[in-house]
Chain A
């Protein structure tokens, strides 16, 4: 089982603020990193799958970077909106852990209008 840490656990921001969160994971035998957004009463929504060191992916106002050598990924949200309120989960996969995602505890984001 991989040790995956996300910080902060929760975050309150004002509408329009930009924010970022961190996902830390073991760098050895890295295979891929998945980011999900999970809104209450909905299914987790896949945001990004990242595989290469230095990868940067973007989807609208959300972007993510990946450092596989030091074992971390950042998720950025530019100009937060109330509809961005959700729990953001990261889940690395490594070559020793088979085909399972190992999730961090998530960062719960609340954006106040």
Chain B
């Protein structure tokens, strides 16, 4: 298994543009998570899917952010009308069923908004 993969790894965009990140979880993992990490902080939860259903969504996720997992496999995170405060690393993670199981992370997608 190749682990959780994210694309692109780095993205520089101008303020106001839309960006989309993709996450491919470990196959058979039915849970998929998105987190955001800024310098000096631990990762912050954004949203979580079980199969194709988005079950939880943080208050951090403004209406400019949308995440989908249409077929219960890969997921996309779109940020519309990016702002400089959106500059961060966006981490995707996946796990199988039980909350006590290990959650595996990808290497993250760095976003810089200029």
Contacts and interface: CB of A to CB of B under 8 A. Distances in A.
Contacts of B56: 98-100
B98 to A, nearest CB: 9
Interface string A77-113: 0000000000001010100001111111110000000
Contacts of B105: 36, 43-44
Interface string B51-62: 000011010000
Q: For the complex, would chain B's binding face be called helix, strand, loop or mixed by DSSP majority?
A: loop
A53 interface: no
Interface stretch (B41-49, B67-75, B77-85): B41-49
B24 to A, nearest CB: 13
Contacts, number: 61
B90 interface: no
B45 A43 contact: no
Most chain B CB neighbours (cut-off 10 Å) among A36, A49, A99, A105: A99
Interface in A19-48: 31-32, 34, 36, 41-44, 46
Given A46-B103, A100-B45, A103-B42, 11 more contacts: A31-B99, A41-B107, A43-B91, A44-B105, A46-B102, A89-B43, A99-B48, A99-B99, A103-B35, A103-B44, A105-B40
Interface of A: 4, 6, 31-32, 34, 36, 41-44, 46, 49, 51, 89, 91, 93, 98-106
Interface of B: 3-4, 31, 33, 35, 40-45, 48, 50, 55-56, 58, 91, 99-108
